[in-house]
């Protein structure tokens, strides 16, 4: 046993360890909620980005979500046959594909966003409303996504 008494006490006291464990739990909760809607995490991310950016060139979409072009094609190859997105020639540059959300894609995205919010509520359930607000502010500060 370690000097602190518990196995891995030094590791388990690191903020990075605790954040990693919390993130893993959060991802698992959200993944389970999305699976109930028939989606995976990347499907949800891409649908959300398409909604916010559409019509968006496929290359720009990949860059916006930081997904390798080959992986993005795989995600879009799942979403398009399901009738959730369409790929058409980009009106600004007909040599490129632009991706847009279909009505069915928008409906599914709304359900997924509701499910993801519920999963995050479950993750943060031990915290009071004030603690949640403070925690979110702190996460934003340390994640480098402020402003």
The encoded tokens of residue 141 equal 């500060």
pLDDT by residue for the chain (147 residues), tens only, comes to: 445 567 888 898 899 999 999 999 999 999 999 999 999 999 999 999 999 998 999 999 999 999 999 999 999 999 999 999 999 998 788 888 899 999 999 999 999 999 999 999 999 999 999 999 999 999 999 988 765
d(CA 23, CA 29): 10
Q: Give the CATH class of 12-141.
A: mainly alpha
d(CA 71, CA 123): 28
Is-contact 40 34, C-beta < 8 A?
yes
Residue carrying structure tokens 């990075």: 16
Give the pTM. 0.85
Query: Which pLDDT does position 1 carry in this prediction?
Result: 46
Query: Which pLDDT does position 45 carry in this prediction?
Result: 97
Query: Which pLDDT does position 2 carry in this prediction?
Result: 46
């Amino acid at each position: 046993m370690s000097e602190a008494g518990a196995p891995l006490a030094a590791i388990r006291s690191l903020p990075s360890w605790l954040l990693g464990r919390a993130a893993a739990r959060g991802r698992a909760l959200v993944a389970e909620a999305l699976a109930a809607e028939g989606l995976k995490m990347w499907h949800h991310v891409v649908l959300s980005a398409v909604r916010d950016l559409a019509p968006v060139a496929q290359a720009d979409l990949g860059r916006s979500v930081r997904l390798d072009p080959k992986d993005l094609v795989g995600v879009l190859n799942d979403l398009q046959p399901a009738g959730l997105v369409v790929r058409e020639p980009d009106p600004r540059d007909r040599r490129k594909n632009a991706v847009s959300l279909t009505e069915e894609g928008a409906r599914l995205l709304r359900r997924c966003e509701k499910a993801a919010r519920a999963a995050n509520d479950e993750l943060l359930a031990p915290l009071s409303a004030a603690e949640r607000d403070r925690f979110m502010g702190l996460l934003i500060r340390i994640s480098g996504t402020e402003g």
